Amino acid sequence: MLNEADLRDGAAATDAVPAAGALDTPRTSRRLLLGGSIAALGLAAGGLPRLSMISPAAAQGAAPAAAPPKGPQPFDYPGKDKGLTLLGDRPLVAETPANLLDDDTTPIAKFFVRNNGQIPEPIKDVDGWQLKIEGEVDKPLTLTVKELKSRFKAHTFRMVLECGGNGRSFYTPAARGNQWTNGGAGCAEWTGVRLADVLKAAGLKASAKFTGHYGADPHLSGDTTKDAVSRGMPIEKALEPHCLIVWAMNGEPLPHIHGGPLRLVVPGWPASLSSKWLNRILVRATPHDGQGMGGTSYRVPTVPIVPGSNVDGKTNFADLTSMPVRSIITAPANGARLPAATREVALRGAAWAGDHEVAKVEVSFDAGQRWHAMTLAKPKNRYDWVRWTGKVKLPSDGYFELWARATDSRGVAQPHVATNWNPQGYGSNPLHRIAVLVG
């Protein structure tokens, strides 16, 4: 397997064997860990060229260089696959290596974990949990989980949930926050009621233009006057029929670590909108101003900035809405060693594109000189990821990198490297790359 620490520019070699799927970076020094020992392949440490010709340090007011991220750490949490990678313990954050995302429906045990604050105490009275709908509505509502189930029609959709910072580790210089590769995403079956049905039952006023979402997770500081995170969206997105208030995941009661007993699922947009331990929705006439809104929080530049710039996001920034197109190779695993004389490699993977559709997925084994089309399966519903399969024919034994590139329904493809650098590292979606050794 390939060590993530070895795959960043200037990183030193290490003898530690990482979790499978660690090679997600678009800049590699070529080392392959096989059978528990390092097999130096004698390849140049070149990698792809940098986009920026301007030294970040030369930019006026440049942000200080971030400390190198720690290497992958194992994740040990009840009910979770030990193959997940711990990215932070305060708040608790763990991502899923690409090879563990090989299921059509992501099992709960393999689903990534993202928190913004402390984890609240487990809820004993699940059916009695209350959700308030208030603000710019004619009839403010307080509904228990039991009332939601009895009063509104339930729906089940298989939909991708993706952290807004997924892919953050691919930015140069490093951006602030958890250093996700491609594992801050999963596709589960969510069961609940349409947010639109609940909002309509409350009677939306003509002034109802935005939402604000609140959960029961305490702020990391323990300050009860602060929210761990409180994000919101335009009312048009809230009324989209796939936005759900859910109480079940993959046919099971929503696990506490994933926001049970009640959470929002806002598909296609950053998962920070999908509030866990949901207890209040405020309908607003103006954009929400809660924790996680404004400045550089979940926002990206509308005019490209010099990588490393120290900016406050007050001008030329906009909220990240639809997540960018992304594809991952889920089999074979990164670092796989194939028998000598293997000339055809069968591939599997997944792709998704925020509010848009996946138009095609292609794979290259020669650094993008030639691309080979993969076969796309039909998604179950909108916002489901597209599972893809295909084969590539290799010309010889040896070391090969397999690159996956998805293109969305607008004709927008994944870039070779992370683009549109921003201080908190949102929207990074370069090609996914794995390495295999034949013979």
d(CA 244, CA 267): 9
Q: Are 284 and 211 in contact (CB under 8 A)?
A: yes
- Strand segments (E) across 90-140: 92-95, 113-114, 130-135
Does 91 sit behind a cis peptide bond, omega within 30 degrees of 0 on the bond before it?
Answer: yes
Q: Is residue 165 part of a domain?
A: yes
**21 lies in a domain?**
no
Q: Could you tell me the residue range of the domain that residue 151 belongs to?
A: 100-319
Nearest to 335 by CA among 24, 27, 70: 24
**What radius of gyration do the chain's Cα atoms show?**
22
13: DSSP letter = P
Instruction: Quote the CA–CA distance of 411 and 230 in Å, as a whole number.
Output: 33
Query: For position 22, what pLDDT does the model report?
Result: 39
How far CA 110 is from CA of 84, 100, 354, 386, in Å, comes to 7, 7, 21, 18
Is the whole model's pTM more than 0.75, yes or no?
yes
DSSP 8-state code for residue 149: H
Residue 136 within any structural domain of the chain: yes
For residue 228, which of 289, 290, 164 has the smallest C-alpha distance? 290
Two tokens at 53? Answer: 């010709």
- Sequence-ordered list of residues with C-beta below 8 angstroms from that of 292, at least 6 positions apart, any chain: 116, 229, 230, 231, 272, 298
Please give the average pLDDT of every successive group of 10 residues along the chain, which has 439 residues.
37 32 38 32 32 34 45 87 96 98 98 98 96 98 98 98 98 97 98 98 98 98 97 98 98 98 98 98 98 98 97 97 98 98 98 98 98 98 99 98 98 98 98 98
Q: Is residue 410 part of a domain?
A: no
Task: Look at the chain and report how many structural domains it folds into.
Answer: 1
ω into residue 332 within 30 of 0, thus cis? yes
Q: What is the spatial distance between Cα 246 and Cα 157, in angstroms, rounded to a whole number?
A: 10
Spatial separation of the C-alpha atoms in residues 68 and 71, rounded to whole Å: 9
pLDDT at 120 (0 to 100):
97
Write the CA distances from 99 to 144, 160, 182, 331, integer angstroms: 39, 17, 11, 6
400 part of a folded domain: no
Residue 9 lies in a domain: no
In a domain, 132, yes or no: yes
Q: What is the pairing mode between strands 432-438 and 336-338? A: parallel
Give which of 334, 290, 266 is closest to 85, Cα–Cα: 334
Strands across the sheet containing 73-74: 73-74, 85-89, 92-95, 113-114
Closest by alpha carbon to 364, among 399, 408, 401?
Answer: 401
- HSE of 289, CA atoms in CB hemisphere, 13 A: 2
**Tokens read off for 98:** 């690409």
Whole-number pLDDT of residue 242: 98
Q: Which residue has the tokens 């079940």?
A: 248
Compute the residue count for the chain: 439
In this prediction, residue 74 carries a pLDDT of 84
Nearest to 195 by CA among 131, 261, 146: 131
Q: Domain with 284 in it: what CATH number?
A: 3.90.420.10
- Kindly tell me the burial class for residue 91, based on how many C-beta atoms sit within 10 Å of its own C-beta (0-12, 13-18, 19 or more): middle
Is 328 within a domain? no
Whose tokens are 């792809």? That residue is: 48
Residue bearing tokens 């992304």: 326
